[in-house]
Amino acid sequence: MEYQLSIAEALYPHLKDHLTMEDILALLEKPKTAEHGDMAFPAFQLAKIFRKNPAQIASELQEKISSPLIEKTETVGPYLNFFLKRDMVGKHVITEVIEQGAHYGESDFGKNQNVPIDMSSPNIAKPMSMGHLRSTVIGNSLAKIYSKMGFHPVKINHLGDWGTQFGKLIVAYKKWGTEEEVRANPITELLRLYVKFHQEAEDDPSLEEEGRSWFKRLEDGDNEALELWEWFREESLQEFNKVYDRLGVSFDSTNGEAFYNDKMDEVVELLEEKNLLTVDQGAHIVDLEKYDLNPALIKKTDGATLYITRDLAAALFRHRTYDFTQSLYVVGQEQTNHFKQLKAVLKEMGYDWADDIQHIPFGLITQGGKKLSTRQGKVVLLEEVLDEAVAQALDQINQKNPDLPNKEQVAEQVGVGAIVFHDLKNDRLNSFDFTISELVQFEGETGPYVQYTRARAMSILRKAGALDAQPVEEFNLSDDYSWEIIKLLQEFPETVQRAYEKREPSVIAKHSLHLAQAFNKFYAHVRVLDEHEERDSRLALVHAVTEVLKEDLNLLGVNSPDEM
Ligand code: ARG
């Protein structure tokens, strides 16, 4: 239930000559402090219309207004403040949460609309970077948020599986590699070979030539080259899958760059037909001056296609296959220009749906001040980051709850959850540094804090023998601690909506933190399990908190262990 709506309805009869319901809803504010009530209506705007001062208008409105949901009203200067009937609102919200469970907050806003989400998209034969981790977890969370809003997301892993580097890799493998070593540690070994190639090529430039010629063989469909490439791709993907499994992320498609090899001729033909290609020093480009962008390089002098050529083919393919209403690309902000060019070329080609393409950029994460880098061959593997977080989570569990059954499994959920939550709790465009030990803490603004809070709430329910929620017959909580919780529960659906509108999982993460904080305050002041006339209402409230915290975390792609 939207209590804003009830308040607006109460105001409307007295303002309908001047304001619409939408106007009134837009004017209603949430007061900064709880003592100013639950909702405030500022009367400034009406001063001109009524030719009275706003304070006077506020107090005249106050006298006229009534609604079954409103407990009382107060005026503070130009504001009319509303206090809601806490038990009524509470009963309503808690009932909704308990009845709808995991479905609470769902809408059919995006019904029947496909939304491809290009996410993760690491480059094969290289370790997955922090940037790819970000893309994976942001994309995964957006997919869940879109789903909750009724859309049909299609998660696409646009693997970087084509390019001249594979020619070099083949050369390096044939010279210095063995099958056993690659099988044993695919990514590290392929990376070692790649790095070695560059070191050796400094003294022996003919290697570069050899690399190019192997890439040419690959492009021409040479069997040996293709087999090696397929094998490298397969081994890499298996390594990536280990990380995806731990993160609980799956894809609807792993069509990467290579998938578009046979789909680029069409792009080039279309560009030619539409007279968009110009030859500039032997290269084919699309001029984008009128968009204030550099020209898009479609084909190099030697005929090789480029990253953007593949993305053009992919955009056409996705539009045909999914007939999307939005198409998202969760890719670091350093590629902003690329996506501007992509959209501009499509626009030039006459495709209005280019406007439905959205680049979802994000900032850079570093660990201990350093970017995870592959260039020098010094790599921090993502898996090692996850392992470290899990080990530290296990330490914490050993301190707090040494007898916990299936500790290892819970530690995995907490450690991995900590990394994911941390990644999502900041506005995605922020760049930040992280230190594992900080984000695995059970206190502070961390994922484990939210998980731990929920696990405590679950343990209350267990002790009360109230794991199955009962319908709320009578709800009589009106204390301030409960009320804070009720308001946050009530705000969950609009929070999902806001996260969707801003394409911003951090909106959900912040909601989970606020709810966890409100619950901990409540828990510190209210003895839920004591025999008391409010006991049933309190248990119902606790139950609703466990449901909504679980759903918050779920939308972030973080697990909620029932005990920890
Ligand atoms: N593989 C690319 C990289 O690591 C990201 C691909 C993003 N997706 C796309 N359709 N361009 O930078």
Cα 214 from Cα 170, distance rounded (Å): 7
**Closest CA relative to residue 312, chosen from 280, 364, 277:** 277
Strand pairing report for 277-280 and 283-286: antiparallel
Distance CA 344, CA 282 (A): 22
In angstroms, the CA 490 to CA 37 distance is 16
CA-closest residue to ligand 1 atom 11: 311
Sequence-ordered list of residues with C-beta below 8 angstroms from that of 367, at least 6 positions apart, any chain = 130, 380, 385, 433, 434, 435, 436
Average pLDDT over residues 408-434: 95
Decide: 551 in ligand 1 pocket, CB within 6 A. no
Q: By mean pLDDT, which of 275-284, 378-387, 537-546 is the weakest? A: 378-387
Question: 452 by DSSP, 3-state: which?
Answer: helix
* pLDDT of residue 374 exceeding 60: no
- Residue 85 gets which letter from DSSP? -
Quote the pLDDT of residue 379: 58
pLDDT in tens, 48-71: 888 999 999 999 999 999 888 899
Query: Which ligand 1 atom is nearest residue 160's CA?
Result: 1
Q: How far is the CA of 110 from the centre of ligand 1 (A)?
A: 26
Tokens of 25: 């809803």
CA distance 420 to 557: 8
> In this prediction, what percent of the chain has a pLDDT beyond 70?
97
Residue type, 541: L
CB-side neighbour CA atoms (13 Å) of 166:
24
Q: Which residue has the higher pLDDT, 478 or 549?
A: 549
What pLDDT, on the 0 to 100 scale, is given for residue 81?
A: 96
Tally the C-alpha atoms within 13 A of residue 161's C-alpha that lie toward its C-beta: 24
Residue 377: is its pLDDT beyond 70? no
Q: What is the pLDDT of residue 148?
A: 98
**Interacting residues of 116 by C-beta distance below 8 A, sequence separation 6+:** 153, 154, 156, 318, 322, 324, 327, 328
Mean pLDDT score, 238-253: 96
Strand spans (E) along 287-384 = 296-299, 327-330, 357-360, 365-367
Q: Of 118, 120, 121, which is best to mutate to test ligand 1, by the most ligand atoms within 8 angstroms of its C-beta?
A: 121
Nearest CA to ligand 1 atom 1: 160
Selection from 35-39, 470-474, 506-510 with the highest mean pLDDT = 506-510
| Residue 331 CB less than 6 A away from ligand 1 | yes
CB distance 160 to ligand 1 below 6 Å = yes
Q: Find out whether 364 and 151 touch, Cβ atoms under 8 Å.
A: no
Q: Is 311 in the pocket of ligand 1 (CB under 6 A)?
A: yes
What separation in Å is there between the alpha carbon of 127 and the centre of ligand 1? 14
Give the DSSP H or E segment for 402: none
462 vs 304, higher pLDDT = 462
For ligand 1, what atom is nearest to the CA of residue 123? 1
Best substitution site from 128, 134, 158 to test ligand 1's pocket, by max atoms within 8 Å of Cβ? Answer: 158
Question: In residues, how long is the chain?
Answer: 564
User: What is the predicted pLDDT for the residue at 286?
Assistant: 97
Overall average pLDDT of the 120-138 stretch = 92
Calculate how far, in angstroms, residue 180's C-alpha sits from the geometric centre of ligand 1. 30
Edge-to-edge strand ranges of the sheet holding 357-360: 152-156, 114-118, 327-330, 357-360
Residue 329 Cβ inside 6 Å of ligand 1? The answer reads yes
> What pLDDT sits at residue 550?
98
Residues 416-427: tens digit of each pLDDT: 999 999 999 999
Residue 372: the pLDDT is 56
Residue nearest atom 4 in ligand 1 by C-alpha distance: 122
Q: Is 503 left (phi over 0), alpha (psi -120 to 50) or beta?
A: left
User: Comparing C-alpha atoms, which of 137, 150, 86 is closest to residue 428?
Assistant: 137
- Host H or E run for residue 354: none
Cα–Cα distances in angstroms (integers) from residue 41 to residues 1, 76, 83, 228, in the given order: 19, 10, 12, 69
Asked whether residue 124 carries a pLDDT value surpassing 70, the answer given is: yes
Per-residue pLDDT at 476 exceeds 90: no
pLDDT of residue 375: 46
Q: Tokens representing 447?
A: 């994922």
pTM (predicted TM-score): 0.94
For residue 167, how far is its CA from the centre of ligand 1 (angstroms)?
A: 20
Q: How far is the CA of 52 from the centre of ligand 1 (A)?
A: 60
Distance 264 CA to ligand 1 centre (A): 17
- Choosing from 254, 319, 335 the residue with most ligand 1 atoms within 8 A of its CB, the one to mutate for a pocket test is 335
Compute the distance from residue 237 Cα to the ligand 1 centre, in Å.
15
Give the closest residue (by CA) to ligand 1 atom 3: 122
Cβ(158) – ligand 1 distance below 6 Å? yes
What is the spatial distance between Cα 11 and Cα 446, in angstroms, rounded to a whole number?
41
What residue owns the CA closest to ligand 1's atom 5?
Answer: 121
Q: What DSSP assignment string belongs to 334-354?
A: GGHHHHHHHHHHHHHTT-GGG
How much is the average pLDDT of 142-157?
A: 98
| Ligand 1 centroid distance, CA of 163 (Å) | 13
Separation of CA 159 and ligand 1 centre (Å)? 7
Region 326-346: mean pLDDT is 98
Which of 415, 411, 362, 424 has its CA nearest to residue 385? 415
Query: Is 17 a residue whose pLDDT tops 80?
Result: yes
Among candidates 369, 349, 367, 365, which has minimal Cα distance to 357?
A: 349
Instruction: Residue 293: name the closest of 343, 332, 330, 244 by CA.
Output: 343
pLDDT for the residue 1: 47
Q: Do residues 86 and 486 touch, judged by C-beta distance below 8 A?
A: yes
Distance CA 224, CA 451 (A): 51
Strand 365-367, strand 357-360: pairing: unpaired
Nearest atom of ligand 1 to the alpha carbon of 129: 4
- Mean pLDDT, rounded, of the chain: 93
**Pocket flag, ligand 1, residue 134 (CB < 6 Å):** no
Q: How confident is the model at residue 371 (pLDDT cuts 50, 70, 90)?
A: low
- Does position 146 have pLDDT exceeding 50, yes or no? yes
Is the per-residue pLDDT at 378 higher than 60?
no
The span from the CA of 499 to the CA of 494, in Å, is 9
Amino acid letter, residue 195: V
Spatial separation of the C-alpha atoms in residues 29 and 7, rounded to whole Å = 11
CB of 118 sitting under 6 A from ligand 1: yes
Name the band, by pLDDT with cuts 50, 70 and 90, for residue 466: confident
Mean pLDDT throughout 521-550? Answer: 94
Q: What is the pLDDT of residue 370?
A: 64
Distance of CA 20 to the CA centre of its chain: 35
What percent of the chain is predicted at pLDDT more than 90? 83
In the structure encoding, which two tokens stand for residue 197, read together?
């190639």
